Structure formats: C-alpha cells, structure tokens
Chain A
C-alpha cells in the first residue's frame, strides 16, 4: 500500500510500504476513505519532537472495515467506521475510568498510545491506504451512510479534532 512517511524535518514522502496484517485476533484492517492532517502532525513535521524518520503519519482515520480477526465481534467487513486517534485497550484501570488517552497497556514506552505518532507506541498511521486497528471492538465507531457522502468530513473529524475541542 501507499502511505505518507516522515523522512525528517519538513521532509515527507509518499511511498510503498508493506500492507498491514491482522497481528492479534482483536485487530481489524480498515481501508481508509478519508484521513486528516492535524496540527500535531506539524509538531513532528517542523522538527519540534524527537521523531525519527520512518514513521507512517496520520491519526485521524476513517474508512471501511476490510477484514477482522477472530476475536472481533461487534464490527464486520463492510462497516463504515471512524477510530479515535487514541489506541487503547478499553479495559485497563485508566480506560475503565474514562482516561483512554492514558491507557496503561498499549504503549510500552508510557501511558497513552496513538496511531502514527512519536513515542505513542509503534502503531502505523492512517495517512495510508490501509490501517491496522488494534482492539477493534473498542476502537471502531460505526457510522451511517456511504463512503464519500455529504457527511464524510464531519465524521472524519470525530477521530480527533471535534472530540478534542
């Protein structure tokens, strides 16, 4: 698949990378239909973080479920979904009390994980044709309508900006 890859301050390249695969039974693979560029992506882009080259960027993904693992029960192939920028388990102490942004499980480097972001776990980002979504039952919010309809961008903003604001 093709993806936006960080190559260093103010250097990006759209290039071919390996397709994501189901790594855990609780994963889904989502084919992206829209993906936002966020102001926090600019922190990496501008060189204001310790980001190393090679990160597939993007944490505002929405799309259509392409495949799910055996352990996924509430979403299925063909569902239109948007995911939070947070990667979280949904069941740890912090997730259960409403702080999935500080999930204790999904980032070996600290509390809180995200797609395509420095020091937020090594999850690839959503500025790509396909995205591996861990803990898909927790992450995927199902959406009405069809890809590319009049609410596509409104729904995409549910990944980060609208809830963040």
Chain B
C-alpha cells in the first residue's frame, strides 16, 4: 500500500506483528532504510534484529528522531537533493491503528497520533499505507467525535505534500501463493515474530498478555 520498493526509505509505526512483518517485507523488497517506531524494548529489539532501525518514541518525537537520522544520510547530505525537502521518508506505514497511544499522555488513546506523525514524516510525493485498523464506531473513545470514527488529521499538509494514501483490509488472496512460495523457497521466515505457543485452554491468558503490547508479540494456539 505504501509503494515500498528497491532503494526506498520507509517508516513503520508500530512494532507489533504487522509492523515487524512490514519492516521485514520492506527489506525483502529492497528498501534502503527502514525505521520502526514503538516503545516496547522487546519489540524494538526484534525490529533491530532484522536490520531495521528502532526508534523509541518515549525518547522524543519520532518524526524528529527519524528526520535527524535522515539528515546524517550521505545521499541526502551530499547528494543532489535539497535536503530540507527530503529529510523524511518516501513510504509511511501505519501498523497501529485507532488504538494508538497519545505520546504526551501515554495512558490515553489518541486515534489521530499515528496518522498525524505519518503525514509529518513522509516526504512530498510520498505514499502512506494505512494498515492499522480504524473503525466507524469506538464505544470506548475519549469523545463523541471519535466515538463515531471522526478523526482530526493534518489533511492540508497531506494535500500540499501530494501524498497518496491507501487504507483498508488486505485482500489476502492477491499475495497468498507468492508469499507461500517465498517461505517454501527459503527466502522468508516470518515466524520470527512468534513469541508464544499455547494450548487452547491458555488462550484467555494469552489475550491478556498480548493486550499489554510488549513482550507477547505474537501468540499462536497450537492444537498438535
């Protein structure tokens, strides 16, 4: 959705199962730099282990952190591009969705947080892939607007940057056989994200662990 390809720079927000595999898939597709934003040390470590650059948002605004690192990139520093216009990334991926934490108040949800950060960190003429889920109703949202899925994002900036944006659920069948064949051919081993293998009776506990969005990155119920 974010048009990742050879040589492109990518920022992935969220290092859960989808974020980690977005980073992994971006690297398989030949991205030059992949940043992964989260706050969980375990998840950021997993991102680093596959060759992505972990960005801990508790250490400061992730947009600024990524831009600072991009400024040190040789292509931007010494190349032909005017650096002030290309200090972000070309491809932005939302692997969080509407249950995003508010950075200033981490105990609260802020469904606008990741979308706003992505618009800010993505270069003009870049692409956004909004994989994370957003719902028309959220009974536990913080206000009436957000209960009805009405969000506030910097749409003016998005438009002036000329960003494209794709959203929604994947049509899995479009990639099904090709990704299977990457696994069979030994070119992909996505199971590095699996942290917990459990029996059916342990499922309620596994949900509670996964809900902390930290050390349980992916739980699989095994029936064998």
Inter-chain contact A43/B169, CB cutoff 8 Å: no
Which range contains the number of A residues in contact with the other chain?
Answer: 35 or more
Inter-chain contact A35/B180, CB cutoff 8 Å: no
Contacts of B174 in A (CB 8 A): 98, 100, 163
Contacts of A155 in B (CB 8 A): 180, 183
Residue of B nearest to A84 (CB): B172
A36 to B210, CA, bound (A): 12
- Partner-contacting stretch, out of B78-86, B152-160, B187-195: B187-195
Inter-chain contact B133/A40, CB cutoff 8 Å: yes
Inter-chain contact B22/A165, CB cutoff 8 Å: yes
Inter-chain contact B173/A36, CB cutoff 8 Å: no
**0 or 1 for each of A49-72: is its CB under 8 Å from B? (1 = yes):** 110000000100001000000000
Measured CB to CB, the closest approach of chain A to B136, in angstroms, equals: 9
Q: Interface residues of B, CB < 8 Å — how many?
A: 58
A156 to B129, CA, bound (A): 23
Residue of B nearest to A147 (CB): B224
Residue of A nearest to B184 (CB): A144
Within 8 A of A (CB), among B14-38: 16-22, 24-25
Measured CB to CB, the closest approach of chain B to A119, in angstroms, equals: 9
User: Is B70 an interface position by the 8 A CB rule?
Assistant: no
Inter-chain contact B99/A43, CB cutoff 8 Å: yes
Inter-chain contact A141/B220, CB cutoff 8 Å: no
User: Is A116 an interface position by the 8 A CB rule?
Assistant: no
Residue of A nearest to B198 (CB): A37
User: Is A101 an interface position by the 8 A CB rule?
Assistant: yes
A82 to B25, CA, bound (A): 20
Measured CB to CB, the closest approach of chain B to A57, in angstroms, equals: 8
User: Is A12 an interface position by the 8 A CB rule?
Assistant: yes
Inter-chain contact A49/B137, CB cutoff 8 Å: yes
- Partner-contacting stretch, out of B56-64, B114-122, B199-207: B199-207
Taking beta carbons and an 8 Å cutoff, which residues of A are in contact with B?
2, 4, 10, 12-14, 31-43, 45-50, 58, 63, 82, 84-86, 88, 90, 98-102, 112, 114, 127, 129, 138, 141, 143-144, 147-148, 151-165
25 of the cross-chain contacts (CB-CB < 8 Å) are A13-B204, A14-B200, A33-B224, A34-B222, A36-B219, A37-B218, A39-B16, A39-B17, A43-B99, A45-B207, A48-B135, A48-B141, A49-B137, A50-B137, A98-B174, A100-B171, A100-B174, A112-B169, A127-B221, A158-B183, A161-B17, A162-B179, A164-B18, A165-B22, A165-B95
